[in-house]
Amino acid sequence: MGSHSPKEDVGKHSIKQAPKSGNTAFKLVLAAVAMFGFGFALVPLYDVFCEITGINGKITGPVERVEHWVDTSRTIKVQFITTNNAGMPWEFDALQEQVKVHPGAWTQAEFWALNPTKEDMVGQAVPSVSPSEATEYVQKTECFCFSQQSLKAGEGRNMPLIFSIDPRLPPHIRTITMSYTIFDAGAFAE
């Protein structure tokens, strides 16, 4: 390339403008870099947003066990759904399809997982609550979904879930579905 500076290319008119142009360009480059950072900032922002609003059933936990006032006048039907992510070979089931609970009472549910393969595996269950409005009222002191589950080849195990529904649950919600999807977390084993 030639040794002349770029501003000479464009004639006299722009020479006096060039410092100003460099300035503007620099600010715009900074803006672009900032937006690149913003793209990554969307990741924690998304998690915070989901936690605040309860979208996605992202339950924070485990919580400290607090004895609520038990609202015996209401009965909430809590349904359990289990799903295997594509390619996950485990047997994974809820041992009860549904339970009826009074808001405020602590309830234990059992889940069953079995690794039928000939290799040791690590699984991670990802929870979700429907309707999402109910998410913030679901409190768990213990859940197999809080940590990875390791199963040796052929090993099976009961996994507990201890939860309670906050009595402040809006009155129009009568049924809550808790869904768990099990993933092969071998690549992320801790």
Partner 1 sequence: MTTATAHHDDHGHHGPAKGIMRWVLTTNHKDIGSMYLWFSFTMLFIGGAMALIIRSELFQPGMQLIEPEFFNQMTTMHGLIMVFGVVMPAFVGLANWMVPLMVGAPDMALPRMNNWSFWILPFAFGMLLLTLFTEAGAPNFGWTFYAPLSTTYAPSSVTFFIFGVHMMGISSIMGAINIVVTILNLRAPGMTLMKMPLFVWTWLITAYLLIAVMPVLAGVVTMMLMDIHFGTSFFDAAGGGDPVLFQHVFWFFGHPEVYIMILPAFGIVSQIIPTFARKPLFGYASMVYATSSIAFLSFIVWAHHMFTVGLPLETELFFMYATMLIAIPTGVKVFNWVSTMFRGSMTFETPMLFALAFVVLFTIGGFSGLMLAIAPADFQYHDTYFVVAHFHYVLVPGALFGIIAGVYYWLPKWTGNYYDEKLGKFHFWMSFIGVNVTFFPMHFIGLAGMPRRIPDYALQFADFNAIATVGAFIFGFSQLVLLYVVIKSIRGGEKATDEVWEGAEGLEWTIPSPAPYHTFAEPPHVK
The answer to whether 99 and 118 have CB atoms below 8 angstroms apart is no
Among 79, 83, 85, 179, binds partner 1 (CB under 8 A): 85
Q: How many residues bind partner 1 (CB under 8 A)?
A: 46
Residue 24 sits in the site that holds partner 1 (CB under 8 A): yes
DSSP assignment of 46-93: HHHHHHHH-GGG----PPPP--PPP-TT--EEEEEEEEEPTT---EEE
Among 110, 136, 142, 184, binds partner 1 (CB under 8 A): 184
Residue 181 sits in the site that holds partner 1 (CB under 8 A): yes
Indicate the SS3 state at residue 178. strand
Q: Whose Cβ is closer to partner 1: residue 6's or residue 73's?
A: 6
Give the integer Cα–Cα distance in Å for 147 and 81.
19
Give the integer Cα–Cα distance in Å for 56 and 178.
11
The least distance separating partner 1 from the CB of residue 51, rounded to whole angstroms, comes to 12
Residue 173 sits in the site that holds partner 1 (CB under 8 A): no
Residue 56 sits in the site that holds partner 1 (CB under 8 A): yes
Give the integer Cα–Cα distance in Å for 41 and 46.
9
- Site residues (CB under 8 A) for partner 1? 1-4, 6, 8-14, 17, 20-21, 24-25, 28-29, 31-40, 42-43, 46, 53, 55-56, 85, 124, 126, 132-133, 181, 183-185, 187-188
